[in-house]
């Protein structure tokens, strides 16, 4: 089963566990780079969507990941030299070496990437003495080391191409029951009759249809520099601090899902995040708010 098909089938009624769409702690939901495909010698800029529903301050630290021996995210993290310097901030820049493609045969060029490791934490971050053998250590506000589950590690790749480019998809608008939902508008809705269920069909009450609408140019197609035809697929993903989505992820073109608020959110304003990705490393996001009565 493909990634998109699997994601589309990931409904809130498929499990009694908390859905991945519910943001209950510190999370990195997405990372965007201004040039998902970059040429040797180009400088790229990363920014991340790191969120904490409790409103605690979140610091993001960055380090470059340069052609690790393993292409996995964990391989990128493990490739960080002990004591390597980290850059803290909301964004990070990286220059692709001018020689990045030198000596790489054509058959292997699609797998050449550089990347950025991101660590989202409430306290100081160092590249020494991390848990489970990782070269990253995150401390709490007092400096005590935190277990891995209490901070976030992520890796964003930039693929190196001689001439190919990839533009990030763009969210043109978000809709609420088919009408445009401006970012400044806080919607109001009633809660369903349950505070505990994670099953959309067991949460009886008010429901609203939501959709991400990407721009027409978001899905690119063409022939790459190696002569292979491509047509991008888009994926729409939904996250919230509370509530249940009928579908947590959908095809980016047929992206409609439905949302219900649970009783535990009564009197609160919850945040929803909308993310759209293409299958060549592009991403865009936006957020909206709902007050539950």
Both tokens assigned to 260:
């219900």
Domain that holds residue 113: 37-160
282: its two tokens: 């592009």
For residues 171 and 138, membership in a common domain is answered with no
Are 243 and 186 part of one and the same domain?
A: yes
Identify whether residues 277 and 204 lie together within a single domain. Answer: yes
What pLDDT is stored for residue 251 in this prediction?
97
Q: Are residues 72 and 106 in the same domain?
A: yes
Helix (H/G/I), strand (E/B), else coil: 150: helix
pLDDT at site 285: 98
Instruction: Give me the residues of the chain with pLDDT under 50, please.
Output: 1-14
Tokens, residue 212: 């991400």
Structural domain count, the chain? 2
Report how far residue 18's alpha carbon sits from residue 23's, in angstroms, rounded to the nearest whole number. Answer: 10
Secondary element (H or E) of residue 5: helix 3-8
pLDDT for residue 208:
98
Q: Is residue 113 part of a domain?
A: yes
Which residues neighbour 227 within 8 Å (Cβ) at sequence distance 6 or greater? Answer: none
Burial zone of 48 (CB within 10 Å; 0-12 exposed, 13-18 middle, 19+ buried): buried
CA distances (Å), 20 to each of 60, 230, 247, 279, in order? 22, 30, 11, 20
Give me the torsion for CA of 52, 73, 114, 107, rounded to 10°: -140
pLDDT of 3: 40
Q: Does some domain include residue 30?
A: no
Q: Any bridge partners for residue 45, and if so which?
A: 93
- State the pLDDT at residue 139: 82
- Reported as a single tens digit per residue, the pLDDT across 89-107 is 989 999 999 999 999 998 8
Q: Mind listing the pLDDT tens digit for each residue in 41-52?
A: 999 999 999 999
């Amino acid at each position: 089963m493909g990634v998109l098909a699997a994601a589309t089938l990931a409904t809130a009624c498929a499990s009694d566990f908390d859905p991945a769409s519910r943001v209950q702690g510190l999370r990195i939901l997405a990372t965007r780079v201004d040039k998902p495909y970059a040429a040797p010698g180009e400088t790229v800029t990363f920014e991340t969507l790191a969120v904490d529903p409790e409103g605690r301050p979140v610091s993001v630290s960055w380090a470059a990941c340069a052609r690790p021996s393993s292409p996995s995210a964990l391989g990128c993290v493990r490739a960080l030299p002990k004591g390597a310097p980290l850059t803290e901030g909301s964004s990070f820049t990286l220059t692709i070496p001018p020689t990045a493609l030198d000596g790489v045969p054509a058959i292997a060029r699609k797998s050449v990437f550089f990347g950025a490791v991101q660590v989202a934490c409430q306290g100081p971050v160092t590249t020494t003495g991390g848990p489970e053998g990782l070269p990253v250590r995150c401390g709490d506000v007092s400096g005590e080391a935190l277990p891995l589950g209490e901070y976030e590690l992520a890796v964003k790749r930039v693929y190196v191409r001689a001439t190919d480019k990839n533009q990030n998809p763009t969210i043109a608008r978000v809709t609420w029951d088919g009408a445009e939902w401006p970012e400044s508008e806080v919607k109001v809705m009633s809660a369903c009759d349950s505070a505990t269920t994670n099953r959309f069909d067991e949460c009886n009450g008010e429901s609203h249809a939501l959709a991400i609408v990407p721009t027409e140019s978001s899905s690119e197609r063409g022939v790459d520099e190696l002569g292979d035809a491509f047509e991008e697929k888009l994926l729409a993903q939904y996250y919230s601090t509370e509530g249940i989505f009928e579908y947590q992820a959908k095809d980016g073109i047929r992206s409609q899902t439905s949302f219900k608020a649970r009783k535990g959110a009564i009197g609160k304003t919850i945040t929803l995040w909308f993310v759209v990705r293409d299958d060549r490393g592009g991403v865009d996001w936006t957020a909206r708010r709902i007050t539950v009565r």
